[in-house]
Amino acid sequence: MLKFCHSVFSLLLLSSSVFANISSKDLSLAEANAMSLQELLEVTIVSDLATGTALEEKNAPASLSIITAEQIRLSGARTFYEALEQVPGVHTYPGKAFAMKDGISIRGIQTITNPHVLIMIDGVSLGTGYYGSPAMFFKMPSSLIERIEVIRGPGSALYGADAFSGVINIISKQYENIENQVSARYGSFETAEGYTHLKTQAGALKLGMTASIVDTNGDKGRVIQEDGLKGAPFSLAPGPLETRYTTLYTHADMHYQDFDLNLMFSRTDDAGTASGAGQILDPVGEVNNKTYLIDLKHTNTSLLKDTTIKTNLAFTNYDINIKYNITPQGSPAPFTQGIKLDPGLKEDSYFLNTRFIYEGIDSHIISVGIGYRYSKMRDITQVANIGPGVTTPGVLQDLSGTEFSYMEDGVTRNNTFALLQDEYSISSQWSLISGVRYDYYDDFGSSFNPRLALIWQEAQDLTFKALYGRAFRAPSFAELYLRNNTLTLGNENLDPETIDTFEVIMDYRAPVRTKLNLYYYQARDLITYVDDPSPATTRTAQNTEGINAYGTEIELSYRLSEKIKLNGNYAYVKAEHADTKNKVEDIAPHQVFAEVEYKPSADWNVNTQYFYYSKRYRVDTDSRDALGADSIVNLAITKDNIIKGLDLTIAARNLFDSDYREPSDGKIAQDYPMQGLNVFAELKYRF
C-alpha cells in the first residue's frame, strides 16, 4: 500500500520542478500574491556569495542556489539541515561516529565529520579546528534563518580552506527583515519549540533579536536490532538510537551608520549519543556544548576614491563536554560499570579580514583581500577508566593535562592569506571572472587556489557559464594530533586535500525556468582513517589517492497557474576511487526532488515534497548488499490570519512512515533507521 501511495505521489509531483524566483529582498507571501505571473518570472536574484560583490544570480560564476525564509516556512522545514535537502546534488546524512554528527554531502563527497563544506553564518565560518566542520549538534532552527545561499563546487579562491565541495552561507534574520512575533510549536516525539523575533530602533541605532528553544525526546521508534557488541549478553540491543536533545539559539544584531555587530549564542544540553561512541547503544551518555560568536563588520566608501573597503573582525568560542559509555553496565569485569570516556575541550578562533573593492577602471571590478585567522585548543579534559594512563582498569581517572590525554593542551594554528580577483565585463553579453588566493598555515604549509569563469548572456533569458576552480581542505586538529585513543589516531604528516573542478552551466529563465549543470572533478590526497597493522585495533588518519567524478544537475521551475507552482530537480553523480576504480561508497548516484505548491486562496498554502535516493554501494571490505533505494514525502499546510496576525502551520514529515535508512559502517548491520512519520502544529502571532 505504501509503495502504491509513493508511486501515485511520484507521478503527481514529477510532472515538473526547482527553485522559485527570488529577489535580493526576499518576497513575503503577501507581496508574491500581489504580483502578476510575469512579474514573478522577472524577479531578480542577487547574492554576493560567489564573488564578494553583489551579482545577479544569472551572472554569478558558480552553481548557486538560494532558499528563502518563505520557502522554508511553506515547506515545513524545522532546521537548517531539513531546508538544505531541496538543493540539487546536496544530501544531509548522519555521520558514522561522534554521536552521528550531521553531515552534508555535495556531489558525492561525503565523510564522517563533514569538513568538506564551508558553513558560515552571515559570512563567518562556523567550522571548528577540531573537526573542520561545525560543532556537534549544530541544529540551527529554521525560525532564525532569513535565507540560505549554497554554492556547489569549489570556493577556496575566495574563502580558503574547507570550501572544498561547496560553500553554504546562512543569512540570519536581522533588523531589516524581522517582524515582531512569538511562536509555539509541538509535535511527535514530545518535541516542543518556542521562538520570538523582536526589533527596535533608537535614533540611528537599530536593534534586532531572535531566540529559539527546542526540546525533544527523540524518535524511540528508530530501533537497532544488533549493535557493535554483536549479540553479547550485556548488549542493550535491540534498542533505540538515543536522539534526545535540548537546544537554545539566540542572535542579536546592532546597526549604527557603517558598523554592523552580530552576536550569537547557542547551547545544547543532555543530547543523546545516537548510535554511541563505538556503535554500541548508550542510553545514558550525553553531549553538552556551547558556541559563542561575535562578528563586527565595517564598510567604508569615502576613504579611497572608487573603492569600497570592507573589514570583518570575528571571534568564536566552542565549549564541548561529552560523557560516553562505550559499553553499558554489566560488561565483563573489571568494567562492570561499563567502559567510560568523558572528553572535553574549548576552542578559540580569531579572524580578521579586509577587502578592497576598486571600480575605478572601466569594465573592471578588482578585489584585493588580506586576512589572518588564529585558532587554539585549550582546557583539554579527559576522564576515563580504560586506555593509556589508567592504572586501575574499570576505575575512572582524570587524565587531563597529562601525556595520556587524547590531545596535547594548547595546540594552535596560524593562517594568513591574500587574494586577488578581477570581474571583467568584456561586453554587454560577455564577462570574465578570474581570481586566486594564497594561504599559509604554520602547521602544514601553503596552498594556492585559482579560479576562472567565462559567462555569456546569449539573450535576456539565456545564460551560459564555463567554470574552473581549485580548492583545498586543511587537516583538522583531530586528524593531525589525536592520540591515546582506542578507536582513531592522528597523523602529523598529513598533506592538505585538493580538488580541481570543471563545470558548464546553462540557465534558461522562461517560460519554464531550466538550469542544466555538467561537472567533472578530481579530488586528491583525501584523508581517511586506515586500519593499523594487526594486532592493533586502531585506525590512523592517512592521505589516500582520492576520487574522480562527473555528474549533472537539472533544475526546473514552472508556475502552472496563479494557484499552482511546480518545482524540482534531478542530480546524478558517478564517483570512483582513483586507485581501484570502484564506486564511492555510501552516496546515492541518483537523487530526485519534486515539489507542488498549491495556493487555493491568499491565506492558504499547501506544500507537498517528494524525495528519492537511489541505492548506495558499500566499501569493498563490506560484504553487505547495497542499501536499497528510499523515498519520502512531506506535507505542510499553512493558514495565515486565522485572526489578524495569527498564523497556523500543520506539517507531516515522512508522511507514509517509510523505513528510510542511511548507511552505517557495518557494526550496526541493518544501517541507521531515520525518523518515521512525525507531525507538528505551530501557532505564530505577529504584532
Span 448-457, average pLDDT? 97
Residue 503: the pLDDT is 98
Residue 111: the pLDDT is 81
222/203 Cα distance (integer angstroms)? 53
The separation between CA 606 and the C-alpha centre of its own chain, rounded to angstroms, equals 27
Residue 517: all three cell numbers together: 549543470
Whose cell is 555510501? That residue is 586
Instruction: Kindly list the structural domains of the chain, giving each domain's residue range(s) and its CATH number in brackets, ordered by start.
Output: 2-686 (2.40.170.20)
133/118 Cα distance (integer angstroms)? 7
Between 45 and 291, the more confident residue is 291
Residue 582: all three cell numbers together: 570502484
Does the pLDDT of residue 95 top 90, yes or no?
A: no
Span 306-316, average pLDDT? 97
The separation between CA 549 and the C-alpha centre of its own chain, rounded to angstroms, equals 21
273/505 Cα distance (integer angstroms)? 42
pTM: 0.92
3-state secondary structure of 620: coil
Residue 488: the pLDDT is 86
Span 399-427, average pLDDT? 96
What are the pLDDT digits (tens) for 355-406? 999 999 999 999 999 999 999 999 999 999 998 999 999 999 999 999 999 9
Residue 531: the pLDDT is 87
* Residues 6 or more apart whose Cβ sits within 8 Å of residue 48: 54, 55
Span 325-331, average pLDDT? 93
417/19 Cα distance (integer angstroms)? 35
- One-character DSSP codes across 175-240: GGG---EEEEEEEGGGEEEEEEEEEEEETTEEEEEEEEEEEE---TT-EESS-TTTT-TT---SEE
Does the pLDDT of residue 24 top 80, yes or no?
A: no
What are the pLDDT digits (tens) for 67-83? 999 999 999 999 999 99
Does the pLDDT of residue 33 top 80, yes or no?
A: no
Does the pLDDT of residue 507 top 50, yes or no?
A: yes
Does the pLDDT of residue 289 top 50, yes or no?
A: yes
* 8 Å CB contact between 324 and 344: no
Residue 60: all three cell numbers together: 554569478
Task: Report the residue count for the chain.
Answer: 687
DSSP annotation of 338: -
Residue 585: all three cell numbers together: 561508497
* pLDDT confidence tier of residue 5, bands split at 50, 70 and 90: very low
Phi, psi of 26 (to 5 degrees): -55, 135
Residue 112: the pLDDT is 77
Residue 438: all three cell numbers together: 594564497
What are the pLDDT digits (tens) for 571-625? 999 999 999 999 999 999 999 999 999 999 999 999 999 999 999 999 988 999 9
What's the chain's average pLDDT?
91
Does the pLDDT of residue 298 top 70, yes or no?
A: yes
Span 115-136, average pLDDT? 90
Does the pLDDT of residue 4 top 80, yes or no?
A: no
190/274 Cα distance (integer angstroms)? 17
* pLDDT confidence tier of residue 45, bands split at 50, 70 and 90: low
What are the pLDDT digits (tens) for 523-578? 999 998 888 998 888 889 999 889 999 999 999 999 999 999 999 999 999 999 99
Could you tell me the CA-to-CA distances from 571 to 172, 250, 479, 540, 607 in Å, in that order? 28, 35, 31, 33, 22
* 8 Å CB contact between 623 and 639: no
Residue 436: all three cell numbers together: 586566486
How many other CB atoms are there within 10 angstroms of residue 37's CB atom? 11
Residue 609: the pLDDT is 98
Does the pLDDT of residue 13 top 50, yes or no?
A: no
* pLDDT confidence tier of residue 38, bands split at 50, 70 and 90: very low
Span 258-286, average pLDDT? 94
Residue 18: the pLDDT is 32
613/631 Cα distance (integer angstroms)? 6
Residue 409: the pLDDT is 93
Pick from 40, 74, 62: nearest CA to 149: 62
Residue 528: the pLDDT is 87
Residue 135: the pLDDT is 79
What's the one-letter identity of residue 18? V
Helix and strand totals (H; E) in the chain: 7, 39
Residue 360: all three cell numbers together: 575605478
* pLDDT confidence tier of residue 44, bands split at 50, 70 and 90: low
71/223 Cα distance (integer angstroms)? 33
3-state secondary structure of 677: coil
Could you tell me the CA-to-CA distances from 627 to 113, 181, 400, 665 in Å, in that order? 21, 44, 41, 12
87/107 Cα distance (integer angstroms)? 11
How many other CB atoms are there within 10 angstroms of residue 563's CB atom? 14
Residue 537: the pLDDT is 82
Could you tell me the CA-to-CA distances from 292 to 129, 173, 262, 320 in Å, in that order? 15, 17, 11, 12
